[in-house]
Amino acid sequence: MTEPKRLFDCLTLNLAKDPLPDMLAGKENGAYKTYSTKEVADTIQKLSTGLLRLGVSGADRTPEGIEKIGIVCKNRPEWIMLDLAVQRCGAALAPVYPTISLTELEFILNEAQVRIIFVNDEELFHKVSDIRDRVPTLKEVFTIETVAGARNWKELLLSPTAEELAQLQRTQDSIAETDLATVIYTSGTTGTPKGVMLSHRNIVSNVRSCMPCLPQGKIRDGTNFACVSVKYRLAPEHPYPAGPDDCEAAALWAVEHAERELGSDRLLIGGESAGAHLAACTLLRLRDRHDVVDRFGAANLVFGIYDLGGTPSQRGLTERPDLLTAEQIGYFTELFTPGQSVEERRDPDISPLYADLHGLPPALFTVGADDHLVDDTLFMAARWALAGNQAELLVYPESPHGGIGMPSVFEPWFATLTNFLRRPANGG
């Protein structure tokens, strides 16, 4: 085998050709723990054995009959190892976002007929326990972290017998690239969540198509970056100000610890869509509350929302062939700021377009002409520059929300972005 056809083939090829000492890494008890390619493969083998002994056999691989294993978990190495173990058993993972409402969680587990579910911690264990009686198919709940009174995922790390090893190999060999790999449920913003069925071929072909756009180390080598992704609480369970509070806390951590933990004290900030909104809000808080905004050398703000009171393009005054609709923007805004009036939503801490924007770092603004948030970017870039800051604006014709995912947009945008970020990264 020279090219992967199923997702777990990637691990097999890496193990044979390019094993790494640190294929995966995650923080445990405040320190990073790394997993080599061999450790990952061995763990998947044992976990597959444990699933096999729970009756996950892969006997029926039709989209309707294939067994779906649930997981409600934050990003961590165990998530990836579980996913690959489930695939090798001929089953499909059904991931669920940790902040999902109880109603939607119950719906998904029943819709997918989940029999076994893995949860991250005690909070999510109790969340699943609250609805367990209303999910008749659910028989086993395992936690990743240690939780009193709960079964732990490590119970399934079992060494296979020769017979089990042969059975797992037969199952793996029989899995076709067209077989179901995962079922990802939509957020439910337009009704009940809907399961999107993705085969191994769907995902592998997508990765192959993206690889030329992101050669390994391109941003890192060109700018000497270490990238930090911020997890923040989400509405509706955690409306404003929870998300901005979390981003502010993460930025302050970076200011204090980046040089020691990441090897540099030169900081940049950025985000897309809601992430761009939070990045702008965070910069304003760092300036006004902590007087440390000068620690950030640049901002990359991509198709953000900056006026939660509603710009003309947000309100759909001009019809646009966009992925994001005016109705969806209104729905998300209400979840984030429930019950607030237009004027309340234009508080500068909520809508950074209305803030005093002096003393902020150079910013690259990107948006598509067909994006319902195009006015937000046009107005914000203009006010950013008028306040005396450096602002660069990229507007791509016939590009919707999320348009940087289009190859015709990505390549020129990425080149511009890399050059923009290289300046502060190199001390310019």
pLDDT (tens, 9 = 90+) of the chain, 428 residues, equals 789 999 999 999 999 999 999 999 988 887 889 999 999 999 999 999 999 999 998 889 998 899 999 999 998 999 999 999 999 999 999 999 888 889 999 999 999 999 999 999 999 999 999 999 999 999 999 999 999 999 999 999 999 999 999 999 999 999 999 999 999 998 766 678 889 999 999 999 988 887 766 655 555 555 667 778 888 998 888 999 999 999 999 999 999 998 888 878 889 999 999 999 999 999 999 999 999 999 999 999 999 999 999 999 999 877 778 888 899 999 999 999 999 999 999 999 999 999 999 999 999 999 999 999 999 999 999 999 999 999 999 999 999 999 998 888 988 998 899 889 888 755 55
Does residue 273 carry a catalytic annotation? yes
Instruction: Please identify which of the residues 200, 277, 372, 401 carries the catalytic annotation.
Output: 401
CATH code, domain with 412 = 3.40.50.1820
Helix (H) or strand (E) holding 20: none
C-alpha to C-alpha distance for 369 and 400, rounded to whole angstroms: 7
Of residues 133, 146, 195, 156, the one with CA closest to residue 48: 156
Does residue 372 carry a catalytic annotation? no
Based on the domain organization, do 119 and 241 belong to the same domain?
no
Helix (H) or strand (E) holding 274: helix 274-285
Backbone angles phi, psi at 31, to 5 degrees: -130, 150
Instruction: Please identify which of the residues 42, 238, 245, 273 carries the catalytic annotation.
Output: 273
| Pairing mode, strands 363-368 and 92-96 | unpaired
Whether the pTM exceeds 0.75: the reply is: no
Based on the domain organization, do 279 and 350 belong to the same domain?
yes
- What's the burial of 209, exposed, middle or buried (CB within 10 Å: 0-12/13-18/19+)? exposed
Instruction: Please identify which of the residues 371, 372, 376, 399 carries the catalytic annotation.
Output: 371
Of residues 15, 126, 116, 34, the one with CA closest to residue 76: 34
Please report, to the nearest 10 degrees, the dihedral formed by the alpha carbons of residues 133, 139, 141, 142 taken in order: 170
Render the burial of 267-287: b for 16+ CB within 10 Å, e for the rest.
Answer: bbbbbbbbbbbbbbbbbbbbb
Of the candidates 186, 210, 234, which is a domain's last residue? 210
Based on the domain organization, do 300 and 334 belong to the same domain?
yes
CATH code, domain with 110 = 3.40.50.12780
Show the domain range for 261: 218-425
Q: What DSSP designation does 238 have?
A: S
